[in-house]
Chains A and B, each alone.
Chain A
Amino acid sequence: MFTDFVDELSKMLAGDQLLTAKSELIPYESDGLTAFKALPRAVVLPEQQSEVVDIVQLCHRYSVPFVARGSGTSLSGGSLPNTDGIVIGLNRLNRILSLDAEQRIAVVESGVINKNVSDAAHPYGLYYAPDPSSQAVCTIGGNVAFNSGGAHCLKYGMTSNHVMGIKAVLPDGNLVELGGSSLENVGPDLVGLFVGSEGLFGIALEITLRLLPIPETYRTVLAAYPSMELAGDAVAAVVASGLLPGAMEIMDNLTVRAVEESVKAGYPIDAGAVLIVELEGEASAVEEEFRDLQEIISKSGAYNVRSARDETERNLIWKGRKGAFGALGKISPAYIVQDGVVPRNQLGAALAEIDSLSQEYGVRVANVFHAGDGNLHPNVLFDNREDGMLEKAEALASEIVKMCVRRGGAITGEHGVGMEKRHLMTDMFSDQDINQMLKLTNEFDPKGIANSGKMFPADRVRGI
């Protein structure tokens, strides 16, 4: 069976587009969540949209499971292969098909790198707003699958808020076009439903994005606090003031020290917490808001406040934040990037609870988070060479997300459910809610071949 399937694949693809040797498959055995590994039976690297459609149709005909893969930076095991299936690598589907500066619309193939969209739009004074820290490598297709966010999603929203149209091949091989090039829509928001579907509804081929004018001015403030609690209170004060910053990020002491060791962003290493607040927009308005912000920060108990005086200083502040995950890799042999959300007024209490859980487990946790929207990234640091440490770290990571849900939050704010959090879905949704999601996947994917095994608790899905 599978050999017939591979035979047919080899007829439709060039030699370098079909990988079957173990040595070639190993790079695909896991994604950004390296704790999970599975070797696919083959990897295909289509170069044309029509090839993707043919491959999916073939998978459907032979009932072979497939997993779409962009750049494999998923932190939830979203692009983890099925051992009885194939990986469809989309990196070669990387054309920007059109960029209409006057109407601020870009049409891109799904393998286009996030940052390349902004780079292409830059000469026209435009950019693509969602900026995951992985933006230099992750693909728009992966962003769409996960509804990815970033530091600057506070004001302008996540991927979903910037996608107007999607062309996709459904798991049964049907080609569909959802939405269009207008910001407006009539009828059910099918684009909205597709974004965040984690590859379970098929493969996005072409995506229509909305671009924004590059803000005229940024005002970036770095404030150091003796404690996380004070930094959290400062965020609450900024939010309550009615200011609408483009970003508000917090890092704890462990992260700050790691960052300073690796990228030297000039953060005070003795700080209990470092807060970054960035205002963006029209110059005159931002200057006015900046005065208000300085006043709030000056009363918030910060012991060291620095405002970027120019673009170089601003970039340095962000370099530290964007390099935080990499920096943690240098102070710990392994770590789990956790992702949970709490209501913003629970930030302080949630952080205190993470701290006590960390002590209880005897496992270090480094916190980096999108404070403005209550999106926590507690990074659980552990030594994977020690027996039982992975399990312990995973248990702590799960415990932290359950705590988020108990506080009225969510199990993931931007990294998706994937493989990692499927057992936590029942903490957030009722059996009936999950059934409704499964009914929908059954309609789209009657054979259960698209990214099967992801998102739902193992006992609730077929095909695994």
Chain B
Amino acid sequence: MLEPKSVREVQEVVNTASTAMLIRGGGTKTALSTSSGNETVIDLSNLSGILEYRPEEFTFTALSGTSLKNITEMLSENGQWLPFDPPMAKIGATIGGTLATGLSGPGRYRFGGARDFVLGVEWVSSAGEILSGGAQVVKNVAGFDFPKLMIGSLGRFGIISEITLKVFPKMNSFGTVEWDCGDIDGAVGFVKEMTRTPIDLFAIDLESNGIVRARLGGLATTLNNRLARLSEYREGAKIILGDVELDLWEHLREFLWLPDDYSLIKVPITPDLIPQLDACLTDGQSQRKYSVGGNVAWIGWPGTTQEVDTILSGLGLGGLLIIGSPETSWLGTSSTITIFADKVKRAFDPEGRFLPL
């Protein structure tokens, strides 16, 4: 395993690698960053550090191997944060790995996901060049949006070396209202009703057993009134506050609910399809969480993922294996490579020096 400490060293590694290059941030997304044996593994955890942080600009630039934990701490000292709740910070995820996988947590609901916060990227190309896209200002449309392309690119187009993100003022207090809607149909129905509420929900998640949780964030002075108002939407509301509340969302963001040895699969979805998907998964030992207002399903799955692949294909859904054995990352419809993606791959990696799409 190669561990470059500078962008220059990353270039050298690229220039000399003789097998397909697998890039690794912190290795948290095991299905995506574990080598099956033949690749040149490039570990970027030493390519870390904040290059620039201007709190008054609400932007920062960091090397890609910088841990989310360091970033979060730095921002927090200045009353700022990344409101999309980047997952797996506690277990060592890097900013590069998070963006390359395109992962956001429950907070994506309110202000957008990783893709909506990236302003600029620099990467080392398959030819060993340092390329860049975007800019370091919060608004810019010059040239193609390569920063967004790199979101979710899984190291297939280049090795991200540097990232500029915008940040937001941190909300200083949170509270959650929980309802038991009986079953998944009840929960989906209620979430659809709640997505049109004028109350600014920070997050809204649901579970197979019918539990719906809506989170509010903002000024402490108004929070209680807002929670009370939110509670009135449905009978049986339970208000959760304080550390219990923080732990609850951390549990989701960090996938602490995922049993050991389970695979973790991400499936983009719309609320309407959730009951069908959930029904297909009730047999066996799977665990499901539906986040971002029912726009993503997180599936915890024991054993091989073939069955999930079949189920997703049947429903016309696509998924990505995040944690698990590295053989099959793309599940369901996402395993079909579109002409469009193929053309992008040819433009970025004509010789296939990174892993295939």
Nearest B residue to A280 via CB reads B200
A312 within 8 A of B: no
Instruction: Determine whether the beta carbon of B139 is less than 8 Å from that of A410.
Output: yes
A192 within 8 A of B: yes
Count residues of chain B with CB under 8 A from any CB of chain A.
Answer: 86
Instruction: Determine whether the beta carbon of B139 is less than 8 Å from that of A158.
Output: yes
Instruction: Determine whether the beta carbon of A281 is less than 8 Å from that of B200.
Output: yes
Instruction: Determine whether the beta carbon of A284 is less than 8 Å from that of B198.
Output: no
Distance (whole angstroms) from the CB of B97 to the closest CB of chain A: 15
Instruction: Determine whether the beta carbon of B115 is less than 8 Å from that of A192.
Output: yes
Q: Which residues of A contact B343 (CB under 8 A)?
A: 440, 443-444
Q: Which residues of A contact B102 (CB under 8 A)?
A: 185-187, 189
Tell me if B's interface is mostly helix, strand, loop or mixed: mixed
Q: Which residues of A contact B156 (CB under 8 A)?
A: 188
Instruction: Determine whether the beta carbon of B268 is less than 8 Å from that of A185.
Output: yes
Nearest A residue to B130 via CB reads A432
A250 within 8 A of B: no
Interface string of A157-195 (1 = CB under 8 A from B): 110110000000010001011101111111111101101
Pick from B150, B152, B198, B293: contact of A282, CB under 8 Å: B198
Q: Which chain A residues in 181-218 approach chain B with CB under 8 Å?
A: 181-190, 192-193, 195-197, 213-216
Q: Which residues of A contact B141 (CB under 8 A)?
A: 146-147, 149, 158, 196, 410, 412-417
Distance (whole angstroms) from the CB of A392 to the closest CB of chain B: 24
Instruction: Determine whether the beta carbon of A244 is less than 8 Å from that of B168.
Output: yes
- Cα–Cα, bound, A408→B120 (Å): 12
Interface string of B215-236 (1 = CB under 8 A from A): 0001101100110010000000
A230 within 8 A of B: no
Interface string of B135-152 (1 = CB under 8 A from A): 111111111111011111
Nearest A residue to B331 via CB reads A186
- Cα–Cα, bound, A282→B219 (Å): 12
B96 within 8 A of A: no
Instruction: Determine whether the beta carbon of B154 is less than 8 Å from that of A409.
Output: no
Distance (whole angstroms) from the CB of B313 to the closest CB of chain A: 14
Stretch from A111-119, A353-361, A367-375 at the B interface: A367-375
Q: Which residues of B contact A244 (CB under 8 A)?
A: 168-169
Pick from B154, B168, B192: contact of A187, CB under 8 Å: B154
Instruction: Determine whether the beta carbon of A101 is less than 8 Å from that of B196.
Output: yes
Query: Which residues of B come within 8 Å of A, CB atoms?
Result: 54, 56-59, 79, 102, 104, 108-109, 111-113, 115-116, 125, 129-133, 135-146, 148-154, 156-157, 168-170, 192-193, 195-200, 218-219, 221-222, 225-226, 229, 266-272, 292-293, 295-296, 318-320, 330, 334, 338-341, 343-344, 346-348, 357
Query: Which residues of A come within 8 Å of B, CB atoms?
Result: 101-105, 124-126, 146-147, 149, 153, 155-158, 160-161, 170, 174, 176-178, 180-190, 192-193, 195-197, 213-216, 236, 239-240, 242-244, 281-285, 287-289, 341-345, 370, 373-375, 408-417, 421, 425, 428-430, 432-434, 436-437, 439-440, 442-444, 455
**Given A186-B102, A373-B138, A375-B139: 6 more A-B contacts, CB < 8 Å:** A103-B272, A193-B146, A374-B138, A412-B141, A432-B129, A433-B133
